[in-house]
Amino acid sequence: MEKLTLSSRSKSLLKRFISLTEQDSNTYEWLKTDEVLLNDLEQQQLQYLKSRLLVEHMHLMNEATLWSRAIYPLLSLAEQGNIRTWAGVPLYACYAHFEIEGIADGV
């Protein structure tokens, strides 16, 4: 059985093992419009993030710092209902002909 890691996978490698079909699993209200309305608290949080990020030299940051200062705070603003953001999620799956594992930075 071949063991794959998420960091070394490629579409051509995966095609040796699976036939991939993608489809929407849920229809969320915020996907049905081009405009997203923010409440007062969300607008304040977004303004605060923007003011911090505008003075940072993002291109000088390493990946972990960039995720912690910009990406995760923005993702947390999208949390609603059953939609949550997570960091460093270990993933593992075992199939008939291969195993695959890795860590997802942002889920």
Q: Which of 30, 23, 4 is nearest to 15 (CA)?
A: 4
In a domain, 29, yes or no: no
In a domain, 17, yes or no: no
**In the prediction, which pLDDT does 9 show?**
73
Q: Which of 1, 10, 6, 3 is nearest to 91 (CA)?
A: 6
> 17-68: per-residue pLDDT in tens?
888 777 766 677 667 777 778 889 989 999 999 998 888 888 888 988 888 8
In a domain, 101, yes or no: yes
In a domain, 45, yes or no: yes
In a domain, 92, yes or no: yes
**In the prediction, which pLDDT does 30 show?**
66
Q: Which domain holds residue 91?
A: 2-9+38-106
| Residue indicated by tokens 């490629």 | 10
In a domain, 19, yes or no: no
Which range, of 29-33, 71-75, 102-106, averages the lowest pLDDT?
Answer: 29-33
**In the prediction, which pLDDT does 25 show?**
66
**In the prediction, which pLDDT does 97 show?**
85
In a domain, 14, yes or no: no
Q: Give the count of domains, the chain.
A: 1
Q: What is the mean pLDDT of the chain?
A: 84
pTM, to two decimals: 0.57
In a domain, 51, yes or no: yes
